[in-house]
């Protein structure tokens, strides 16, 4: 080694300052609910009442990984979770996994950090941790199994591939810079060798949801604005009602946490692209340009599901996606969506393998996701253009207090 | 439709201005050699002496697609190339494929533009077009086959998958915003239905090369800076020597163009990550933190391949990657690299499916890429950690004058 890199210096100075800052706000219960900046330099606090990466304003890029345990040794898993937590807190602050870890002092040892994020700023990285039913079973903790991890029912039209479904635990990495997100996942995966193995992994190149009123609504690969009425960081009591697990919902270790439902949704974009504009708008229930509910003027105008046209038919068709998924149609059910567009190469049949990696955070998958997805799978015309090819549910514990590690409330609570 | 979207407005006003700007500089032969800005709003000129996306400062994100012709009808192919060129010029300027094309005036027709880039700025999008040997053969133009499209030899260790190799033509989309790159490829693919079909497609999330002295050198997934001495936009006569096809090199239709060599290189990152820092540095020939050649202080210091250590061994090992790939070792051969890091999910064996999508532009694949890759494949210790799984060569014609379309010099020259 001939000198200190920029990142190396930053690892000592900048990360120290950032970590000090984390310590200073750890006692502030609202930390994770305060929208963060989106600039490359911005650091999202790692500890707080809730995990970051849920109501944090959705970053532009995603790397999501589901892993399986390759051991049932609880102490070994705890050891990994402690190491992961320390490394995650450092990486979120823009540092290497260990101080100077990419160009360590012992040249005869492998570097602690793989190095591809050297010189890159924190880039609003968040790392969100969740456990699946498999981890709880393998570690003999079934008395602590939260009810939301009960298997989802099969939905009409599901084409789930076991290879891209399930998993004993998950890490969601979101960042403004995909290299930063990939670096984080890769280093955590690496630290897990011998204890965990990658089950599946998904990159998302573009966010499809806003989780703060400060963000413009993005577009999915059908070209429509999506999630206009998403649950957002500023929604206060609605978050407790729809997103955060409340005391009494299940075992106490998950209080203040949230369930993560992931669905890999392949979109048959070439079929959609042959559909007329008016048909596309009828299927979605919004106009394509502005994103206004049919019959309204602006994106955030409320949909009028009772309005009828000149011949008496509903202005917003009865099978329109926004009607089926609306709280009105579902007895008040809402979810926080945080999905990403993906293209995974080609499908071998002349098309792009493209779609939406759906992620939702919610208080109860069976009371929220299941009725919503049932309504969509049974009635939604959109189902002609999509195919659910992967599915997983994870329980994401509350945020960490000072000194705590990922999963501690489950493993030691 | 209830109103004009921002992009829609921009499509008329902004794109008009941008297209006017393109017209104004089309006669300037150095257009494509002038480094462009990298901000979201910046527009890279579409027409010029050379195609954009070669010496254009490498954008951060990539979507590359290889297509096969599904017809041998030359007129039909010309019709598509004309449509592609018009749409590409508009998209590069930040507009839809046709004026107002995402929310067209006839609601009973499918929209011309798929819409997911509505509201997004030009983001330095470049679209670079190339033809493979298959197109020339299928259209009965073998008398115009350029010598550089002769098949590459098999290299030691090649594990090429036909499904991610070859192709009758290619489009390289580079942008600061992956949604903009994906939108462009998706819309061109869509316009090709009935004439072309996707053969393979690759997303790259992070650039691994600089093509301008104004850019910092990025890092590959081995954590090392890559391409410090890449051929760059500012290199003047070196570009004519190493990158641009010169009169007399082959059929005149390719004069001023360049060959594109693509190699999908899977990296076995988990094996690399178990290698000591000193061994990693010996294999590469640079230190990891600064990127300086071994024995030197700074990244851009010249490597001294004659220097020896205390026991007489070369400071830069004889099998070091930078020595094997150096112009010194290859009789003066240099190439312009423009590759990207990728992660394509997992490999089904507990690991990430990660690597480098290598792209090089050069004057003669057989005089430049073949000797370089032969030297690397036969001697490079790095080969223990990588596997070439895809390969393709395309001929990218010179840039377009006003009114010309992609491939015109080949099809009508």
pLDDT confidence of residue B106: 86
Q: CA of A164 to nearest chain B CA: how many angstroms apart?
A: 9
CA distance B43 to chain A (A): 21
**Rounded Cα–Cα distance for residues A350 and B19 (Å):** 32
Q: What is the pLDDT of residues B165-217, one digit of tens each?
A: 999 999 999 999 999 999 999 999 999 999 999 999 999 999 999 999 999 99
**Burial code of B249-273, b = ≥16 C-beta within 10 A, e = fewer?**
bbbebbbbbbbbbbbbbbbebbebb
The DSSP element (H or E) to which B85 belongs, if any, is helix B74-92
**pLDDT the model gives residue A24:** 30
CA-to-CA dists, residue A145 to A43, A82, A138, angstroms: 33, 22, 12
Give the Cα separation of B246 and B252 in Å (integer).
9
- The Cα A312–Cα A399 span in angstroms is 51
Examine the pLDDT at A347 and tell me if it is beyond 70. Answer: yes
Per-residue pLDDT, averaged over B87-116, amounts to: 94
Q: How far is CA B407 from CA B19, B128, B147, B413, in A?
A: 21, 11, 17, 9
Q: Is the pLDDT of residue B47 over 80?
A: yes
Q: Is A306's pLDDT higher than 90? A: yes
Nearest CB to A346: which of B4, B198, B269?
B198
CA distances from B325 to A70, B152, B380 (A): 41, 18, 9
Q: Inter-chain contact A290–B110, Cβ cutoff 8 Å?
A: no
Q: What average pLDDT does this structure show over A33-48?
A: 72
CB-CB contact of B221 with B355 (8 Å):
yes
> What is chain A's Cα-based Rg?
22
| Nearest in space to A198 (alpha carbons), one of B161, B344, B272 | B344
Which pLDDT belongs to residue A104?
78
Average pLDDT, stretch A207-217? 93
Q: Which of A70, A223, A291 to mutate to test the interface with B (most CBs of B within 10 A)?
A: A223
Candidates A163, A177, A270; nearest CB to B190? A270
**Which value does ipTM take for this structure?**
0.91
* pTM score: 0.91
Q: Report the b/e string of A54-77 with b at 16+ CB within 10 A.
A: bbbbbbbbbbbbbbbbeeeeeeeb
Residue A185, judged by CB atoms within 10 A of its CB (0-12, 13-18, 19+), counts as buried
Rounded to an integer, the average pLDDT of B225-251 is 94
Range of the domain at A404: 1-413
For chain B, the domain total comes to 1
Quick check: B139 pLDDT over 80? yes
The answer to whether A110 contacts B206, with C-beta atoms less than 8 Å apart, is no
pLDDT tens-place string over residues A323-333: 999 999 999 99
Q: Which residues of B touch A114 (CB under 8 A)?
A: 221-223, 269, 273
Looking at residues B290-312, what average pLDDT do you find? Answer: 95
Closest partner residue to B276 (CB to CB) among A4, A107, A351 is A107
pLDDT per residue as tens digits for the range B356-399: 999 999 999 999 999 999 999 998 788 899 999 999 999 999 99
* Nearest-by-Cβ selection for B274 from A110, A203, A351: A110
Identity of the residue in A116, A203, A274 whose CB atom sits nearest the CB atom of B223: A116
Q: What is the pLDDT of residues B66-80, one digit of tens each?
A: 999 999 999 999 999
Query: How much helix, strand and coil, in percent to the nearest 5, is found in chain A?
Result: 30, 20, 50
pLDDT > 50? residue A14: no
**Higher-pLDDT residue of A18, B192:** B192
- Compare B29 and B219 and report the one with higher pLDDT: B219
Query: Does pLDDT of A79 surpass 90?
Result: yes
Please state, in angstroms and rounded to a whole number, the distance separating the CA atoms of residues A26 and B6: 41
Residue B105: the pLDDT is: 73
Q: How far apart are CA A379 and CA B375, in angstroms?
A: 60
Closest chain A residue to B341 measured between Cα atoms? Answer: A179
Q: Which helix (H) or strand (E) holds A180?
A: helix A178-191
Which residues on A lie below 8 Å from B189 (Cβ)? 351-352
Q: Widest CA span of chain A, in angstroms? A: 80
Q: Which residue of B has its CA nearest to A280?
A: B110
Proportion of chain B above pLDDT 70, given as a percent? 91
pLDDT of the residue at A214: 92
Task: Please answer yes or no on whether B107 and A216 come within 8 Å at the CB atom.
Answer: no
The confidence band for A40, taking pLDDT boundaries of 50, 70 and 90, is confident
Among residues B155, B209, B197, B201, which one has the least CA distance to residue B340? B209
Residue A131's nearest CA partner among A363, A410, A413 is: A410
The answer to whether A116 contacts B1, with C-beta atoms less than 8 Å apart, is no
Q: A224 to chain B, minimum CA–CA distance in Å?
A: 7
Q: What is the mean pLDDT of chain B?
A: 90
Question: With bands split at pLDDT 50, 70 and 90, how would you rate the model's confidence at B15?
Answer: very low
Instruction: State percent of chain A over pLDDT 70.
Output: 91
Distance from CA of A26 to the nearest CA of B (A): 32
B276:A224 CB<8 A: no
pLDDT for position A38: 55
Across residues A384-407, what is the average pLDDT? 97
Give the chain B residue nearest A185 (alpha carbons).
B352
CA angle B38, B43, B46 (to 5 degrees): 125
* DSSP-based three-state secondary structure for B169: strand
Q: Minimal CA–CA distance to A92: which of A59, A123, A137?
A: A123
Contact yes or no for B115 and A269 at CB 8 A: no
Average pLDDT over every residue of A47-71 = 97
- Secondary structure of A10-27 in the HEC alphabet? HHHCHHHHHHHHHHHHCC
Contact call for B178 and A1, based on CB within 8 A: no
Confidence check: pLDDT of B335 > 80:
yes
């Amino acid at each position: 080694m001939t000198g200190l890199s920029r990142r190396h210096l930053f690892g000592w100075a900048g990360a120290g300052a950032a970590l000090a800052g984390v310590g200073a706000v750890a006692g502030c219960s609202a930390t994770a609910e305060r929208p963060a900046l989106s600039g490359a330099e911005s650091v999202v606090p790692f500890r707080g009442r809730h995990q970051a990466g849920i109501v944090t304003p959705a970053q532009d890029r995603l790397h999501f990984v589901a892993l399986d345990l390759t051991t049932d040794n609880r102490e070994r898993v705890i050891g990994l979770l402690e190491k992961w937590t320390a490394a995650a807190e450092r990486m979120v602050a823009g540092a290497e996994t260990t101080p100077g870890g990419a160009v360590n002092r012992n040249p005869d040892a492998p570097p602690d950090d793989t190095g591809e994020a050297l010189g890159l700023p924190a880039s609003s990285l968040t790392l969100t941790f969740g456990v699946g039913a498999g981890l709880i079973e393998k570690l003999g903790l079934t008395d602590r199994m939260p009810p939301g991890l009960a298997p989802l029912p099969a939905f009409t039209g599901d084409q789930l591939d076991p290879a891209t479904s399930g998993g004993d635990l998950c890490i969601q990495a979101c960042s403004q810079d995909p290299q930063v997100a990939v670096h984080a996942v890769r280093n955590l995966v690496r630290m897990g060798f011998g204890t965990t193995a990658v089950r599946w992994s998904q990159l998302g190149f573009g966010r499809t949801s806003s989780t703060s009123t400060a963000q413009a609504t993005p577009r999915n690969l059908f070209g429509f604005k999506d999630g206009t009425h998403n649950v957002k960081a500023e929604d206060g009591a609605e978050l407790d009602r729809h997103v955060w697990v409340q005391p009494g919902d299940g075992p106490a270790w998950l209080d203040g946490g949230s369930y993560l439902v992931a669905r890999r949704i392949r979109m048959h974009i070439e079929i959609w692209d042959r559909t007329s504009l008016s048909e596309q708008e009828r299927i979605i229930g919004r106009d394509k340009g502005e994103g206004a509910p049919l019959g309204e003027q602006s994106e955030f105008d409320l949909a009028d599901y009772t309005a009828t046209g000149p011949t008496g038919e509903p202005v917003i068709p009865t099978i329109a996606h926004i009607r089926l998924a609306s709280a009105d149609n579902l007895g008040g059910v809402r979810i926080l969506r945080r999905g990403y567009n993906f293209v995974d190469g080609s499908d071998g049949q002349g098309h792009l393998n493209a779609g939406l990696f759906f992620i939702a955070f919610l208080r109860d998958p069976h009371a929220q996701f299941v009725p919503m997805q049932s309504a969509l799978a049974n009635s939604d015309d959109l189902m002609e253009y999509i195919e659910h090819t992967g599915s997983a549910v994870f329980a994401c514990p509350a945020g960490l207090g000072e000194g705590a590690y990922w999963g501690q409330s489950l493993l030691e609570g």
